[in-house]
Amino acid sequence: MIEQRNLTSHVYDESEIKEILDKKDIYQEAFAKLKETGQGLAEA
């Protein structure tokens, strides 16, 4: 995920950008799960 973030900061190749955008939903889901985990730990 970090590698993809780095690529988005420095990539101007349209096909590479499309590949990254195609993974957007996977990353959103991962961050949502991370947020839930963090909230659960804060409440414990």
pLDDT of residue 22: 92
**Structure token pair of residue 26:** 């996977």
> Number of structural domains, the chain?
1
Are 20 and 8 contacting, i.e. CB atoms less than 8 angstroms apart? yes
pLDDT one-digit tens code per residue, 1-44: 677 777 666 667 888 888 888 989 998 999 999 999 988 778 76
Q: What range defines the domain where residue 23 resides?
A: 2-43
- Is pTM beyond 0.85? Reply is no
